[in-house]
Each structure stands twice: as structure tokens, then as C-alpha cells.
Amino acid sequence: MQTNDFSFQHLSPNAVLNAIESLGLEVDGRLFELNSFENRVFQIGILDQAPLIAKFYRPGRWSAAQIQEEHDFTLQLEEDEVPAIAPLVFNGKSLFHAEGYYFALYRRQGGYAPELDIKEHLKSIGRTLGRIHAYGSSQLYKARPSYSLEEMGSKSAQHLIENHIPTHHVQIYKDITDQIFTTIDQHASQIYALPQLRLHGDCHLGNILWQDPHPFFVDFDDSVNGPQMGDLWMLYSLSQDQELNKERLYTLLDGYEMFYEFDDEQLRYCEVFRTLRMINYTSWVGTRWNDPAFKRAFPWFDKDGYWLEHARDLEQQYQKLLKI
């Protein structure tokens, strides 16, 4: 069965268990759905063994070649004992297809969110990310895309304008995003000239599990080619206290630069990456709006007040961009 509607309506519990058993594993009937929006992720009970994690990929997003590239990257990291969670391999394969869906299995990784106020946590995250980037720089993806200012910015905004923003808010939104993109365009050539490597791609604290003495990086599903700041900015610029952010940055880089060099010139583009993520994240919710899981998780998305708040947030970001 081919599912080209970007949904998981055909992924029943029986379909999930049948897919796992197609690999020669004997399930015990336990199935628990974990929190995931883009894909569907389950904890699967395996007879007389520890449970496994099964990820079923959203149809139509990545090709088999693109998924395999991400698998190969994380398997390389795992082989060299970098704490990044890679898929399990069965008979030389990590990517499988059943019931109309691509899927992969992972070991269950315990842990909790790292605490940024503990310097050793942040320094260790920096060391691990430095190792990931060192391996990521050894070659680039061929099938997976590279970070695009246009895809993240103007194309995402256009999708929202054409499909989701209430008519009476469109001009306000268009005015502020036009100003944002004009400002970013002034720096585009410098950003595209930054060294490229394979990134994690969604490097926020929710994708890092701390289990002494290491942070484990999980979910490389958004991995693309891009500059180092595409990952780093999300790990230190979380507070309204800029002095605290600087302190966290120095601690992070203290660990990072033990394994991979970083040019401080990239730091000036932090707000570019933040602004584009804000726009692209909103567009992402819009592209998935027909998925019932998104309507449950983001009930504010089609409310009038949200778009006013979003425009105000973008205005604040525009003021920060002017200071680059």
C-alpha cells in the first residue's frame, strides 16, 4: 500500500506489530506510542528481551536514499563511540519497508534532560557536538539537502500567507517578513560561504538525553548539510539574560573546540537562524495541519490571536537582525 497523503491513518497497532515481526522478532503484544509529531514512534515489547523503539517515517518526506544517509552517519558515530543513537542493523540493513511505510528500530535509551546550569553538562554537550561535527565535516550528504535561507524563510512565509494566515493579518505579516528577508539577504553570501558539514539539524535540548557521564544525541531526522551555527545556536541562547547566554556559550565552546574548530565570526548570525526557525516552524505546523495529531497538539494555530502574537515576535526579531 502506498500512502501519499502524508498521514498515518493506515498505521494500525496490528500493522506496527506485523512490521516488527517481519524482521524475525517475536513481539509480546506490548505497544506504547511515544511523543512524536513528524513521524510515529513506538516502544515495542519483545519476548524475553528489552523493549525496542520503532520509528515509522512520515510518507513523502524523505526518500529511502535520504533516510539511509542519515542512518549511515549515525552508525558511523556509534561505531566510533560517539554517544549518538543509531538504528539497529538486521542482516546488514537498517531501513525497512512494510505496510506502506519506511521504518527503523532503535535500542531504548534512558536519560533525562541535561541541566544547563551544571557546567559539566554543558561542556560535555559541547564536546559531544564537536565530535559529531568533526565526523560531519568528513563528507557531505549527497541525497539530503543543504540548509537554505529561502526554504526556511521566504518559501515558508509564502506557504503561510497563501494557506493559513487570516486575510486581515496578511499585510501585517507580509510587511514584517519582507523587512526580515531584505535584512537577511544582506548577509546571505557570507552565510552560504561558511564551512558546510553534516548537522544534527534539530539540536535542541529535547533531543539530548543525559545519562551520566554522557549526553546522548537522538533523532537526526532533520539532519542536513549546513554551517555549525545551524546546531550551536539552540544550545546557549535560551535566556533573556544575555550575560548568562554568553557564559553558557563560552562553556559550550570550551568543550566543543577540544574536537572541532569554531570561528567566532559565525556567532553574529545567531538571530538569523532563530528568526528563520520561528517562521519555518510555524509553516511546518501548517503543512501538517490535516494530521489530527497536530490539531490536538497546536490548538492555537488557527486562532486569530496567535497571528498577532507571531507578528509581534517577528518584529522583535527584526530589531535584533538590524544589529548584526
pLDDT at 6: 59
Q: Residues with catalytic annotation?
A: 202, 219
- Do 183 and 80 belong to one domain? no
279's grid cell: 517562521
Whichever domain contains 90, its CATH number is 3.30.200.70
Pick the last residue of a domain from 82, 107, 132. 107
4, pLDDT greater than 50: no
The 10s digit of each residue's pLDDT in 232-279 is 999 998 888 899 999 999 999 999 999 999 999 999 999 999 999 999
Find the domain containing 275 and state its range: 119-321
Q: Please give the angle made by the CA atoms of 84, 88 and 92, to the nearest 5 degrees.
A: 125
Q: Shortest CA distance to 160 belongs to which of 150, 170, 151?
A: 170
Domain count, the chain: 2
Beta strands in the chain (DSSP E): 27-34, 40-46, 52-56, 96-98, 101-107, 197-198, 208-211, 214-217, 225-226
Helix (H) or strand (E) holding 260: none
pTM: 0.95
2 CB-near residues (< 8 Å, 6+ apart)? 59, 100
- Looking at residue 3, its pLDDT comes to 38
In Å, what is the CA distance from 129 to each residue of 146, 226, 229? 19, 14, 11
Instruction: Report if residue 166 sits inside a domain.
Output: yes
- Give the H or E element holding residue 88: none
Q: How high does pLDDT run on average in the chain?
A: 95
254 close to 126: Cβ distance less than 8 angstroms: yes
Query: What nine digits make up the cell of 151?
Result: 526554504
